[in-house]
Amino acid sequence: MNYQELIATMEERKAILLKQLEDNKLSKEDYDTIQNSIDNYDYIIELIEMNYFERGQTIPLGHIK
């Protein structure tokens, strides 16, 4: 995958989770789990951008699914 594909994939997955947060019937535990996953996607996106713009150590991106 190239940079744009990776970012698009991560953003799509994050959007799905954000949509799930709109469910008022979520338990506190489920809400926290989803929010934690969103935070993880934000971090992964940041790492991808750092790698792409060479601001960080090179990481293999092919295994992210």
Whole-number Å distance between alpha carbons of 36 and 30: 10
Whole-number Å distance between alpha carbons of 13 and 35: 13
Whole-number Å distance between alpha carbons of 30 and 3: 31
| N-term to C-term CA, the chain | 10
Q: What pLDDT, in 10s, does the model give residues 19-48?
A: 999 998 999 999 999 999 999 999 999 988
**pTM above the 0.85 mark?**
no
